[in-house]
Homo-oligomer: A and B are copies of this chain.
Amino acid sequence: MSYFLGIDIGGTNVDFGVVNSSGEILFESTLQTSDFTTAEELAATINMAVKSNFKDKLSAIGIGAPSVNRETEEIEYAPNLNWGEIIPIKTIFEEQFELPVSVENDANAYAKGIQVFGEGKDLNNFAVVTLGTGVGLGSVINSAVVSGNNGLAGELGHMVVHREGRECNCGNLGCLEAYVGAEGIVTTAKEKLEFSSGGSALNAIQPSDLSPLEIFNAARKDDPVSLEVVDSVCHDLGFALSGLINLMDIENIFLTGGITHAGNILRRKTEKHLKNFVLPNLRNKVNLRITSLNQTGGGILGAVAIIKDFTPAAVS
């Protein structure tokens, strides 16, 4: 039996796991991205973690990461990673493991994971929105992952949702990520707290400890300030997603990432706003869902799904 190592590199966490060709995760773990000053250190640490049990059984490695140049399989100018402007991630892992390594944009990898292991098996068109430090999108259109001319498709996080709005890490103004990325959500909460009369559950949290998931959880308990923040996040996300739907008529859109763990509130409110922005004919053709891979190491499965020549076993 072949085993594969899947690694999902994000701005906050690195998830990795060993997967068999049926998509079963035999081992998984999480590291904090900021604990590593170089990608070499990360590779060495992951090798240590899997070596004892799986070293001789692994046949290939797949990596999902932000800002991947598809031609070179290097990470280029990723605003949320501090390991250098150009990170030759493929070479670094090949040298560390002496195994073939495939690298793909994280959201595209996630989409491939949904296609191979998840709800996307029978869908010609779908998209996945990854909500974390950044905001990403992986699209499958006419049954193929969309990479675009430069491998840069899926920059949902940099759709402008407020002309002349907040400055984004990319340098533009009013990008979705500046409002719906983790930092953006916290910024909105701090802004609203400043103008609130003090009656918010969020006041009990140190401002430096505020996190998007806490804000969403407080909103579920009807905290008024948190509800305003969540509504604003869902309004902006719905606005951006309406563009995707109007342009590409993709019915099934999956959500994944930290804030999707706060129950149904994100999905429900985003869908409400989204429907006000899409062409009326398309209003009842929208199916926004939390992906089931969300609960099962979707980033790891996506990273495995993009391994070149990976063939999934028939899954029951």
Contact = CB atoms under 8 A, between A and B. Distances in A.
A119 interface: no
Given A172-B276, A279-B158, A247 B285 contact: no
B280 A249 contact: no
Contacts of A240: 243
Interface stretch (A14-22, A38-46, A141-149): A141-149
Contacts of A239: 160, 163
Contacts of A94: none
A246 interface: yes
15 contacts: A76-B281, A125-B148, A137-B247, A141-B141, A147-B249, A149-B250, A149-B251, A150-B249, A150-B285, A153-B248, A153-B249, A156-B247, A158-B279, A159-B243, A171-B280
Given A142-B146, A154-B247, A155-B279, 18 more contacts: A77-B281, A141-B142, A141-B146, A146-B248, A146-B249, A148-B248, A149-B249, A149-B251, A150-B282, A154-B249, A155-B249, A159-B242, A160-B242, A160-B277, A170-B281, A172-B276, A243-B243, A248-B248
